[in-house]
Amino acid sequence: MACLPCRGGAATGSKGPPDKRKYSTSLAAGIGRRQPHPESVLSLLASLLLDLVMGHPALGRLRTRTLAEVRGRVLELGVGTGRNLPLYGPGAEVLAIDPDRGHLARARRRAALARAQVRLVAASAEALPFPDTSLEGAVSTWCLCSIPDLPRALGEVRRVLRPGAPWWFVEHGLCPDPAVARWQHRLTPFWRRLSGGCQLDRPVAAALAAAGFRIERLATGRLMPGPRLAAWTYLGLARKPEA
């Protein structure tokens, strides 16, 4: 918060109390010049940077492939600035969560233009605010890398999905090449600090399987621009078992 100027006091060497009218005017002017809170500025800058990076055309093509089959009442994890929202068809009803309110503020603009019904929710993937077995599908695009407690989040997704519900995903993560994987492990502690929690070495398919999801379709490789340590991609479909 900016300091409030007190220019309405008596002049140096003069006697008597400060002029209250001048002090009131000065106070109002000081309030008018308050600067944005540093955290809100950082959140805005982070949202702008995220939106720029995630707007790459190659990522847009992968989004389109991922969302082509989505129907019904679905959960989107980590909606970010809403890059996916214009790509959903009219047959989808999207409950889109993100813990960052700065991201959600930008996502609202895209939600207003979406063909699907969209509800934006400020929530963490580790504590989903939805009843058990209430959703017909899930979507995640480049968000599992930054969830602090991934096993807990995957358990939450499984909880809210109906039996047999699909999970469409495109994520980056651990490369099977041991040389690349070693660099991913080495760099992840530093990269996490620079990128808002993103981990380069998440074993996406193995994590989904460990949480009880059945992998039905999976393509892996360097499907987007960049070195394999950051661009190794998992594109696929998982499913919650029927029982």
Q: How far is CA 146 from the centre of its chain?
A: 8
209: its two tokens: 């399987």
Give the Å distances, CA to CA, from 32 to 2, 3, 22. 10, 11, 15
Q: Which residues of 70-93 are buried (b: 16+ CB within 10 A; e: fewer)?
A: beebbbbbbbbbbbbbebbeeebb
Q: Considering the chain, what percentage of its residues have pLDDT values greater than 90? A: 69
Could you give the 3-state DSSP secondary structure of residue 80? coil
Q: Minimum mean pLDDT among 4-8, 43-47, 123-127, 135-139: which range?
A: 4-8
| Tokens 């960052």, located at residue | 100
Query: What is the model's pLDDT at position 44?
Result: 56
pTM confidence score: 0.79
Could you give the 3-state DSSP secondary structure of residue 139? strand
**pLDDT tens for each residue of 88-105:** 999 999 999 999 888 899
Instruction: Find the mean pLDDT for residues 166-177.
Output: 98
| Of 130, 125, 129, 118, residue with least CA distance to 92 | 118
Of the pLDDT bands very low, low, confident and very high (cuts 50, 70, 90), residue 123 is: very high
Residue 238 half-sphere exposure, CB side, CA atoms within 13 Å?
26
Q: Which residues of 40-68 are buried (b: 16+ CB within 10 A; e: fewer)?
A: eeebeebbeebbeebeeeebeebbeebbe
Domains along the chain with CATH numbers: 40-239 (3.40.50.150)
φ/ψ bin of 197: left (φ > 0), alpha (ψ from -120 to 50), beta (otherwise):
left
H/E stretch holding 95 reads strand 92-98
Of the pLDDT bands very low, low, confident and very high (cuts 50, 70, 90), residue 32 is: very low
